[in-house]
Each structure stands twice: as C-alpha cells, then as structure tokens.
Amino acid sequence: MHILIADDHNLVREAFANVLKNMEGFTVTQASTFSETISKLEDAAPDIILLDYDMPGMDGLQALQKALEAAKPIPVALMSGVASVEIAEQALEHGAAGFVPKTLGVNAILGAINLMILGEQFAPVRWMRETQVHTEVPDSGITLTGREMQLLEGLREGKSNKEIARDLHLQEVTIKLYMRSLFKKLGAKNRTHAALLGKQKGFVSH
C-alpha cells in the first residue's frame, strides 16, 4: 500500500511515515506543502493521500477540492489537529474519503486508511461527539451532542436518514454513524423507540 502524507510539520509527518515504513506492505511518499503534494501526485501514484488541513498552500476546503480533482479516483482524506467538527463535515460533503484527527492512535489511523481504500468514508464519531457542544437533561444520566439532538428531532418527525441528511446538509453515511451513537446512549432498539425515549427523558418536548 502506497500512502502520500502531506504535512508541513516534519516531526509529525516523519514519525507517522516511519511507523508505516516499519510495517510490511507499506510505502510512503512525503510532501510538506500543497503544491509539492500536487507535483508528487503523478509520479508517486499513491493508493491514498492524507492531506493536512493547515499546511502552506492550503486555502481551506478550496484546496481540498483541487486535490480531489487532481487525484481522482485516488481517495483523499483530510487530516488536522485543530479543525472543527463543521470543517470535518464540510470536508466529507466535498467528497473527501474521510477526516482523520491527528489525535487518533496509530492503529485507529491504519484502520481508517484500510476503510477508505476500500471505498468507505471515514468519520470519527467519538471525536465528533466529544467536540460538539453537549446538552444534558438533569436526572436523565444521559448527555447528547447538538447533532444528536437534531437527529432526535428528525426521528420525532418521522423522517428517514436520507431526509435528515438533506435537512442537515450531511451525507447519509454520516447520519448513520450519528444514529449508532444516539441509539447506544439512549439504549434504543429502533428509530421509534429512540424517539419515544427522547421524549420520556426530556430531550424533546412533544
């Protein structure tokens, strides 16, 4: 597996590259700027690109779009240690193969890489949940994120995942990931049960 790592922080980039190089079946190409990433893309012919959101030459999500067009059909994942949940969601909406927080462990990142190469989109639900603003109902013993509250409202209205995704301007796969987290927190068996529990526990008023 050939991975192109683009990050301007030498220690971060080289540390990750060294871990991959020591694993059987991995080769790594490194880049430290956006322009270098694009120039190395054709010669390197990687299986996947890990693109740092904050490195020189990156003009936010516009640069991501350029990378996606230049790399097509190679998957491009956005990496960051500081980007918000909103940036992560927008990256997925733009067509990124995934969003990889630099705070993830090596094994988790490797799992994400394998998933994305297989054509799946990686969204770190736990990170996104912990980063979101939390809402807690006294005595319920349950804390939900703002996004999970939005999902509950959609369930209360009887909407499908596709309809909720459209309303929130997210991809359906992202909604499915949030749903798993919501069901687990509430102890819900299905969508109707989740909506009922949400009402009983005071997260939705009607």
Q: Over 70: is that where the pLDDT of 133 sits?
A: no
**What pLDDT shows up at residue 129?**
60
76 pLDDT band (50/70/90 cuts)? very high
**What pLDDT shows up at residue 56?**
87
Q: Over 90: is that where the pLDDT of 30 sits?
A: yes
Is 49:4 a contact under the CB 8 Å cutoff? yes
Number of domains observed in the structure of the chain: 2
Asked if residue 206 is part of any domain, the answer here is: no
CATH code, 11: 3.40.50.2300
* Mean confidence (pLDDT) of the chain: 84
**105 and 163 together in one domain:** no
The residue-averaged pLDDT of 178-195 equals 89
36 pLDDT band (50/70/90 cuts)? very high
Residues paired with 5 in a beta bridge: 30, 50
Taking the CA atoms of residue 153, residue 159, residue 161 and residue 166 in that order, the dihedral angle to the nearest 10 degrees is -80
**113 and 140 together in one domain:** no
**What pLDDT shows up at residue 70?**
93
Is 37:67 a contact under the CB 8 Å cutoff? yes
Q: Over 90: is that where the pLDDT of 88 sits?
A: no
The residue-averaged pLDDT of 97-114 equals 84
**117 and 140 together in one domain:** no
**19 and 37 together in one domain:** yes
Q: Over 70: is that where the pLDDT of 3 sits?
A: yes
Distance of CA 40 to the CA centre of its chain: 25
